[in-house]
A and B are shown apart, each in its own frame.
Chain A
Amino acid sequence: MSAHLPAGLRLTASDRPGVAQPVPERDIPSQPWGRILIVAVLLAAVLLALWEVRWRAYGSEPAYRNSDGLWAIQRRRIDEGEGGKTVIVGSSRMLFDVDLDTWERLSGERPIQLALEGTSAAFALDDLADDPQFTGKLIIGVAPELFFTGFGYRRSAFTHYHHEGPGQRIGQWLSMTLIEPLFGFYDEDFALGTVLRRQDWPLRPGDKAHRDVRKLSVSEADRNTRMWRKVETDPEYRELARQIWAQKFGPPEPAMVARLKDALPKELARVAKAVAKLRARGVEMVFVRAPSVDQYLDFEHRAFPRETTWAPLLAMTGVRGIHFEDEPTLQGYELPEWSHLAAHERPRFTEALYRLMHLPAASPPPASSPNA
């Protein structure tokens, strides 16, 4: 395994078999490194400033990144003495629609926001069911296409929380202190790879156009989250957000139908198991089906009829459910992209939800609703 070394190359351990390896020698190329460094730093700073200006002009504003680290901070509150509080789990509707300020004003207690976009509440239920420190109240968002399929776009948040090391915590703190409150460009949607990937590249023959969900929300440090203003004010962007949802509104492929059929009983059993564990600890729970409208609601009615999803859920778990179609106070809101409330609607919705939750519990609604 000995080697012949071409001229001009630095020797490495490859060239010295079976001997003690000497102290490496590294040459510094002869260049005016001081001036080079200054120009490089200036260039990077100017480009970065232009990049920030470009994204501010697009409508971005500094906000806390809805990262796994941010979620873990809220999740840790349960470990740090707040296990008796109200916790919100679910997906983006519970995340965007519930206003923590309003809830705090009404109840005197700020809830812990653990809803994760694109993710079934079942993951959080499993996690909290296994945590004896959690004994509080649980508001469980049910977004049918996620909840009844067990979809988990943000499952990584749970792994992150359970395995987060001190280095990651420090990094999260530094990011929330030095970067996130200052820069509008620091958002997953504006990352270089994402921006390039989302250009209108020509399609490969036989390929179907598919667009990922775009930025829809803005978060505060405790994950109090609202719809991004651009979705409400920019008709073109709002239409894009709607068209992205509309990609899934067509007739489902047979394989997808089979998968859904297979997933439903499993997910119901999974949730029932977690609910039983939580109930045994005295945790109060309520399922909430937040509003959706127009084409999105039509899709949900077609693909996830209440009588085969929501009704069995309540029957199997014995947990109270609040469905927006049953409650006049949860209807009539503005949902710019059919799935989430406009930011200004959050206080009214939150207050209505709070009041409904604090009414005496009624028996579960009938399996078929007039609106379904």
Chain B
Amino acid sequence: MVFNSLSFVAFFAIVLALHALPITWTARKRNLLVASYLFYAAWNPPFVILLWISTVVDWYAAQKLVRAERQAARRAWMLLSVIANLGMLGYFKYGGFLLDNFAALMNVAGVAYQAPKLDIVLPVGISFYTFATMSYTLDIYLKRAKPADNFLDYALFVTFFPHLVAGPIMRPTELVPQFATERRASADQLRFGLALMTLGLFQKVVLADSFLGKTAESVFDGKTAPGAIDAWFGTLAFSGQIFCDFAGYSTTAIGAAMCLGFAMPDNFRFPYAAIGFSDFWRRWHITLSSWLRDYVYIPLGGNRHGELRTYLSLMGTMLIGGLWHGANWTFVVWGGLHGVYLAVERMLRSRFAHCRPGPLALFGFAMLTWTLVNITWVFFRASTFGKAWDVLGGMFGAHPDAKLLLGTFDLLSVGVITAGILFAHWQLRERTLEALVARTPPLLLATVWGLMAFAIVISQGTGSAFIYFQF
């Protein structure tokens, strides 16, 4: 079930009521576990089996791993976990993609081969929970974490509904200890959690779905190539949409967990005010970028084996990051471009190590970062390279006689929302949301909260899925 649905409102109300019952902590955790399975089953009940497989395999592998005395045995159990998780992910997410590419390769080699059509349905959130469960065995293998004391805590770590389908991607050390002792939200935690949920849903339902999504669709899903203004505004619309959609989800998830007395990590830190790409990736989808850093980039060698190896590790990590988002070469190109930006930035930083740019130059670098991030979103949003070239061509004046795809309202709403996002990110670049809220007059907070709630209701979202569910 999605957060922006009536079924979630009813579900969450029941979960909150059950969590407030005067019963044992173990019983309340069991309630949360069952609720989380129901939350997942609301999409497609049979896929709960995949969740169970992932949960049981990693629990068993971690138990064996921790008891194994020989390094080879430890490695074998760790590999079992990785292969089981990546195998499941590979089949469901990349099965068709791999087969299509194999067929294309065979045809290039002169072998007439037609790939069978695999009608595989992608289980929602599989990329997220497989990464979360893998981090459990990997952290134990790397001796960063101890196994959970009991299966209930571990299963709840994997399945806890606020983070289950679209993150933040939790590490065991972040969540399992929270299940050890009784947790119940204070009145203020509950209220602030609800405020965060309202903010997250406002971003998703009002900004992303009601205003930005339709504009991005007109440009990226249209039959004709866009002109310059339409291409830029369509891309800016998607840039805002994906932020509001995904950051909105994360904020709602953090709020939901807070209402239950749990803390979840930040997943976004006002990324459109980033100065440079390493800064961007410390602010955008933090739990994925740090996961890739800890479990891919560093094991690949990180920056410990010379310049060339560092660049290769960086590039490899970003290509994998791109592919994680979807089984399409456009995502790989998106990841690859970010890899190139990071590599170039690294080179420039080492060459100009003593250079201390002033505020104006920093602002210029930030705008350059933001512009390149936007241009690169084209590959992320376009379903084919043909469409990506259409939009990129449009952005740089290749279609001066193109038919107009966007109306005045589209341009106006994208302009206003984009400016608002940029302003907010710059205001909060070196602060937390909580710091801003603490200094805001209560009446203004109440007014903004009430207006956001009103806007959510009258936007009449029809429970459209969050973009990242498909990943």
Contacts and interface: CB of A to CB of B under 8 A. Distances in A.
A205 to B, nearest CB: 9
Contacts of A39: 443, 446-447, 450
Given A41-B450, A43-B454, A23 B438 contact: no
Contact of B446 (A20, A40, A188, A202): A40
B282 A14 contact: yes
A12 B254 CA distance: 14
B172 to A, nearest CB: 8
Which one of A27, A203, A206 has the greatest number of beta carbons of chain B within 10 Å? A27
Contacts of A201: 407-409, 412
A48 B187 contact: no
Interface in B421-471: 430-432, 434-435, 437-438, 440, 442-443, 445-447, 449-451, 453-455, 457-460, 462-463
Contacts of B303: 1
A39 B209 CA distance: 27
A29 B434 contact: yes
A115 B100 CA distance: 37
A67 B462 contact: yes
A44 B263 contact: no
A57 interface: no
Contacts of B173: 20-23
A12 B265 contact: yes
Interface stretch (B3-11, B18-26, B239-247, B327-335): B3-11
Interface in B277-294: 278, 281-283, 286-287, 289-291, 293-294
B293 A29 contact: no
B239 to A, nearest CB: 18
B211 interface: yes
A20 B145 contact: yes
A178 B6 CA distance: 10
Given A43-B451, A170-B7, A36 B446 contact: yes
Contacts of A35: 442, 446
Given A12-B290, A167-B1, 9 more contacts: A18-B298, A21-B265, A31-B437, A43-B446, A167-B2, A188-B460, A196-B413, A206-B404, A207-B408
B5 A42 contact: no
B289 A14 contact: yes
B395 to A, nearest CB: 17
A174 B191 contact: no
8 contacts: A8-B432, A17-B294, A21-B171, A35-B446, A37-B194, A44-B450, A170-B42, A171-B463
A214 to B, nearest CB: 16
A171 B278 contact: no
B187 A33 contact: yes
A14 B290 contact: yes
A33 to B, nearest CB: 4
Interface in B383-438: 404, 406-409, 411-413, 430-432, 434-435, 437-438
Contacts of B149: none
B44 A204 contact: no
Contact of A18 (B2, B265, B287, B294): B294
Given A9-B269, A20-B171, A170 B10 contact: yes
A236 interface: no
A165 interface: yes
A3 B278 CA distance: 9
B144 interface: yes
Contacts of A204: 404, 406-408, 411
B286 A6 contact: no
A199 interface: yes
Interface of B: 1-2, 5-10, 41-45, 139, 144-145, 171, 173-175, 177-178, 186-189, 191-192, 194-195, 206, 209-211, 214, 254, 258, 263-266, 269, 278, 281-283, 286-287, 289-291, 293-294, 297-298, 302-303, 404, 406-409, 411-413, 430-432, 434-435, 437-438, 440, 442-443, 445-447, 449-451, 453-455, 457-460, 462-463
A26 B45 contact: no
Contact of B6 (A7, A12, A171, A202): A171
Given A9-B431, A9-B432, A36-B449, A203 B42 contact: no
Contacts of A170: 1, 6-7, 10, 42
Nearest to B10: A174
A81 interface: no
Given A20-B173, A21-B174, A31-B442, A167 B263 contact: no
A191 interface: yes
A22 B264 CA distance: 11
Nearest to B143: A20
Given A29-B434, A204-B411, A47 B454 contact: yes
B210 A193 contact: yes
Given A31-B437, A39-B446, A23 B263 contact: yes
A27 to B, nearest CB: 5
Contacts of A40: 445-447, 449-450, 453
